[in-house]
Amino acid sequence: MRTVPSWPIPSVPSVTGNGGGAIRVFDSASGQVQDTVTPDGIATLYVCGITPYDATHLGHAATYLAFDTLGRAWRDTGLEVRYAQNITDVDDPLLERAAKTGRDWQEIATSQTDLFRSDMAALRVIPPDSYVRVQDSIAETGDAIATLIEAGLAYRVEVTPDAQPSATTELGDVYYDVAAAEAASDWTMGDVSGYTAAEMEAAFLEFGGDPERAGKRGPFDPLLWRSARAGEPAFESAVGLGRPGWHIECSVIATQTLGAPISVQGGGRDLRFPHHELSAAHAVSLVATDSHGTSGDFARSYAHAGLIAYDGTKMSKSLGNLVLVSRLTAAGVDAMAIRLAMLSHHYRSDWEWTDEELARSSVRLQDWRQRAARSVEGTLPAEQNSFVVRMREAIADDLDTPRVAAIVDEWASTPGAEGDADVVTLVDALLGVKLTAD
């Protein structure tokens, strides 16, 4: 599996001490705030990457900032962080955009991934250690699907001649057998999302599921492999010519790059079901079929970021009500003001982007920078600096960035005092907001 270049790593300073203790996040599976489990001093994080078109809107950016904050919080406690992210560069919405615009789908994927990289660099997001395109994980994904078929956890469904005829469809598509997977492991549908049957049915339909397809054994059985159709991209693999389904891509990339179980599986709340539910299921099944023959969890915590609205409606590619990072920065907006605006809201909350929101964050950023310019040098230990202590406690409590920002506001309203430098440094280290010139 090949990784591709991501973007430059921003400087991440450190403050003495070991943070505010174990970092806690809200786990969607348990419905509780819990400690992130990081055995042997290593924290592992997988965040689902973009489908590269309409990059990078603020809904995207807020999600990646949320988990950038988690990585920064872990680092502040002295943990080693291993982070992986995919690029869904072979997917139905991308192909639909290419058909609609008359552009080559690979050209769109390449240009939009480049734009995403530049936006992440501008926002000072720490890049993943493993950045993997779906195209570069085809062999491993095909092997994984073949393993599931052999284990009786996946099956073929015939492609009818009148669907999209091609000489390569004779093997059929491959689907995951949910009932068989439940019987073979500790996972049960709904364990990760906590959704009711009615909620799962609605979400499955909304996000590309096909519950009524003829030949499927169960309505929620998801597609693992779509055999080649005329006019669609296709790749050779152990299960024939075609392309992978949405969920199995992340299962394979995450487990191949990070192992299992990982500390946190992250993404936007709209990925909670079916994507995170089923990618977790696939990973559990794959772990259970390895040489150890054991069953276990894909992730120890499943964390989900809230959704951002614009003009009263959730920001969405399908609706086209997008505010793009690149357009804001091209208009002269300070990327740190954009970052601060998003971190002024708790990562799990839903909120609406407005011009007033950006104006408030710009004023706040200016106040902080003016205060940083008045910083007083001193020898006060960080663990005795009340601002530093409280900032770390807040970030450890489910990444409470609004509380951190309020503490920095309090600091900004004070005259210069010993220990100022540590506050300025910690704003950079935890929030990723740079207050001083290089």
Reported as half-sphere exposure (CB side, CA atoms, 13 A), residue 346 has a value of 15
Q: What is the pLDDT of residue 294?
A: 42
How does residue 164 score in pLDDT terms, banded at 50, 70 and 90? low
The domain of 77 spans 24-305
Share of the chain above pLDDT 70, in %: 95
User: Rounded to an integer, what distance in angstroms lies between the CA atom of residue 209 and that of residue 89?
Assistant: 19
Total domains in the chain come to 2
Residue 300 phi, psi (nearest 5): -85, -25
Domain final residue pick, 259, 280, 305: 305
Q: Beta strand 313-314 with 308-310: parallel, antiparallel or unpaired?
A: antiparallel
Is the pLDDT reported for residue 17 higher than 50? Answer: yes
Residues 268 and 344 both lie in one domain: no
Of 435 and 384, more confident: 435
CATH of the domain at 235: 3.40.50.620
Decide if 230 is inside a domain. Answer: yes
Residues 365 and 231 both lie in one domain: no
Is the pLDDT reported for residue 214 higher than 80? Answer: yes
Q: What is the pLDDT of residue 116?
A: 98
Question: Is there a contact between 234 and 20 (Cβ–Cβ < 8 Å)?
Answer: no
Q: Which two tokens stand for residue 72?
A: 């920064």
How does residue 291 score in pLDDT terms, banded at 50, 70 and 90? very low
pLDDT, the chain, mean: 93
Residues 237 and 372 both lie in one domain: no
Which pLDDT tens digit goes with each residue over 53-74? 998 999 999 999 999 999 999 9
Residues 56 and 133 both lie in one domain: yes
Q: What is the pLDDT of residue 376?
A: 81
CB under 8 Å to 192, separation ≥6 — which residues? 28, 29, 272, 273, 276, 277, 280, 281, 302
Is the pLDDT reported for residue 394 higher than 60? Answer: yes
Domain final residue pick, 305, 338, 369: 305
Which pLDDT tens digit goes with each residue over 353-378? 999 999 999 999 999 999 999 988 77
Residues 225 and 317 both lie in one domain: no
Domain final residue pick, 264, 280, 305: 305
User: Rounded to an integer, what distance in angstroms lies between the CA atom of residue 19 and that of residue 354?
Assistant: 33
Which pLDDT tens digit goes with each residue over 2-13? 999 999 999 999
- In this prediction, residues 233-254 reach a mean pLDDT of 96
Give the containing element (helix H, strand E) for 240. strand 240-244
- In this prediction, residues 190-200 reach a mean pLDDT of 94
Residues 323 and 346 both lie in one domain: yes
Residues 323 and 380 both lie in one domain: yes
Q: Which two tokens stand for residue 417?
A: 């005092």
Residues 281 and 317 both lie in one domain: no
Alpha helices in 164-306 (DSSP H): 178-184, 197-206, 246-258, 277-288
Q: Is the pTM of this model over 0.85?
A: yes
Residues 111 and 230 both lie in one domain: yes
User: Rounded to an integer, what distance in angstroms lies between the CA atom of residue 164 and that of residue 158?
Assistant: 12
Which pLDDT tens digit goes with each residue over 165-174? 454 556 899 9
User: Rounded to an integer, what distance in angstroms lies between the CA atom of residue 171 and that of residue 169?
Assistant: 6
How does residue 293 score in pLDDT terms, banded at 50, 70 and 90? very low
Residues 270 and 391 both lie in one domain: no
Which pLDDT tens digit goes with each residue over 334-345? 999 999 999 999
Q: Which two tokens stand for residue 404?
A: 């951190």
Is the pLDDT reported for residue 246 higher than 90? Answer: yes
